[in-house]
Amino acid sequence: MPEYLRALIIILFLATIFFVFAHRFASTISEDVDFKRRRNLWFALTLAGFLANNFWLYMLIAIPLLGFAKRRETNIPALFFFVLFVLPMAFVQIPGMGVINFLFDLSPSRVLVLLILLPAFFSLRRHGDVLSFGRTWPDKAFAAYILLTVILSMRGNNYGDATPTSIMRQVFYLFIDVFLPYFIISRSLKKLQDFRDAILSFVLAIMVLAPLAIFESLKHWLLYAPATAALGLERGMTGYMGRGDALRAIVTAGHPIALGYLMTVGIGLYLFLQRSIQQKLVRRLGMMLLAVGLIAPVSRGPWVGAAASLVVFIATGRNPVRHLMSTALVVVLSLSLVSMLPGGEKLINLLPFIGTTDKGSVDYREQLITNSMIVIQRSPWFGSVDYMRTPEMQAMMQGEHIIDVVNTYVGIALDTGFIGLGLFVAFFALTLSGIYRAMRSTSDRNSEEYLLGRALLVTTLAILVTISTVSSITIIPIVYWSVAGLGVAYAQMMNEHTDRRVLNQKAIGSSSYL
């Protein structure tokens, strides 16, 4: 039996078990018919991806499937999230028909954007009650960052001079990879139930990868590598990578650290959903599954991000000091216990800051910051187009003959200077500020609205911590723009609640006066 068929059988088996159990609590949060339709679409796209053996044949199958699902969908972000990680992030070039080399790179995730989010964009533009783009402070910082990126792309890049087609290609990528996810998500979700539904889909799409990641780690077999090859996709990061004695799981995330990043996002959002799960055992099993999924890629950056998110979540809850102290005590006792177990020392050595396994990756990141700062200081405001060719960056060349800029902030500063980095950071700072102010607008710390704000706050912070250890590769940027869209939508929803409350109080005051 071909390897891709054996991998498909394993994927379908593990996913079926997961969705059977997930159905028990998903139906209490979302409409049962919506869950079943999205789940069936997930299976259908997975089957098409493994059996088509050609990307264009996969497209012919995916287009009607997505069209059928979209016509019956009441929550476009929920549909998008549910199937976003069905196939690996890899690309095929659309040929230029002899006029130019190629039109653009197309990936399974970009297919979803074009078939789900692009029609939603035109639909939202026809609605009079949709907040126009640019009305919020995050919108303004976001627009400035995108505009600066477009302008600077006219200089060219490390791989060649700018041409009209390369500039248009860059604008197209920014529109479908950055603008559409942020805009559609930030404008589509207006009620608490909309957020429940969308976040449930997001978490389920991440959680179903956890048992597959565990299988990859235990069996030392990357399940989705055969599908990438069969579809003829290129530049998919599906190579085998190890740390210590463990295989680092990848699944569809494209890279181990990207998979750990996904699990960190899933944990943050699950903190909101878990209150809606009545069965305590099911609630704990869900968090345990995400935690084990976080361990499987053996990526330390996401571990730090997840730890930071849990600390902030506790700090924004009731009795934060007591809970933080008890959590710290549990962590210390757990580490002491693990160190005494057989093989415990190997596990301790994998931990960030205190472990010694693969310490070279930590040294590389430190050296990257040191060398990059020298390069950035030569063109501090708007970056440069040839920074990769500088002696300092050439000194970072690895054995694979690549220079891995494993820090999103450093990468942005090298590309667009401190101006671009400032706009990027300002966008997320304004988003976090909006979430925090929206949380504070409700006096009930036990309300579901306040819990949603806490979850979005800690998830965004976890992302900002994690991307300091990895460049914006594979699914990483589309996830952080999407989560930012959730944060802006939440702030807008809570602002509208506050406005209605003020109007009601004024109306009551006027009637009392009369």
Q: How far apart are CA 188 and CA 191, in angstroms?
A: 9
- Kind plus residue range of the DSSP H or E element containing 435: helix 408-440
Alpha helices, DSSP H, located in 154-248: 164-173, 180-188, 192-207, 209-219, 225-230
Task: For residue 19, give every residue at least 6 positions away whose Cβ sits within 8 Å of its Cβ, in sequence order, or none.
Answer: 39, 208
Whether residue 513 is predicted with pLDDT greater than 60 in this model: the reply is no
DSSP letters along 270-311, please? HHHHGGG---HHHHHHHHHHHHHHHHTTT-HHHHHHHHHHHH
Kindly state the average pLDDT of the residues 245-274.
Answer: 94
Q: Which carries the bigger pLDDT value, residue 331 or residue 123? A: 123
Which of the residue ranges 75-79, 254-258, 485-489 would you say has the lowest mean pLDDT? 254-258
Contact status, residue 347 vs residue 240, Cβ threshold 8 Å: no
pLDDT band at 126 (very low <50, low <70, confident <90, very high): confident
Helices 137-153 and 476-513, axial angle in degrees (round to 10)? 150
- Alpha-carbon distance of 391 to 180, in angstroms, equals 38
- Whether 125 shows a pLDDT value over 90: the answer reads no
Residue range 70-89: mean pLDDT, rounded: 95
Lowest mean pLDDT: which of 20-24, 196-200, 441-445, 500-504? Answer: 500-504
pLDDT digits (tens, 9 = 90+) for 311-363: 999 998 888 888 888 888 877 777 677 666 666 666 667 677 666 666 778 88
Tokens, residue 338: 């693990």
pLDDT at 507 over 70: no
**Which of helix, strand or coil describes residue 90?**
coil
pLDDT band at 104 (very low <50, low <70, confident <90, very high): confident
Vertex 241 angle, CA 236 and 246, to 5°: 140
pLDDT at 121: 96
* Whether residue 501 has pLDDT greater than 90: no
- Rounded Cα distance between 142 and 148, Å, is 10
Query: What pLDDT does 452 receive?
Result: 97
In the predicted model, is pLDDT for residue 511 greater than 60? no
Mean pLDDT of 272-291: 91
The pLDDT, as a whole number, for residue 512 is 55
Buried b / exposed e along 479-500 (16+ C-beta atoms within 10 A): bbbbbbbbbbbbbbbbeeeeee
Enter the tokens of residue 498.
């506050």
pLDDT confidence of residue 247? 84
Which range (18-22, 24-28, 144-148) has the least confidence? 24-28
At 412-471, the pLDDT tens digits run 999 999 999 999 999 999 999 999 999 999 888 899 999 999 999 999 999 999 999 999
CA dihedral sign of residues 352, 358, 362, 365: negative
For residue 354, what pLDDT is reported?
A: 67
Assign 293 a pLDDT band (cuts: 50, 70, 90).
very high
The bridge status of strand 92-95 relative to strand 242-243 is unpaired
Cα–Cα nearest to 309, from 296, 329, 322, 290:
290
pLDDT of residue 514: 54
Which of 129, 226, 245 lies closest to 187, judged by CA?
129
Give 369's contacts (C-beta < 8 A, 6+ positions apart).
Answer: 407, 410
Write out the two tokens for 222: 């990357």
Q: What is the pLDDT of residue 235?
A: 59
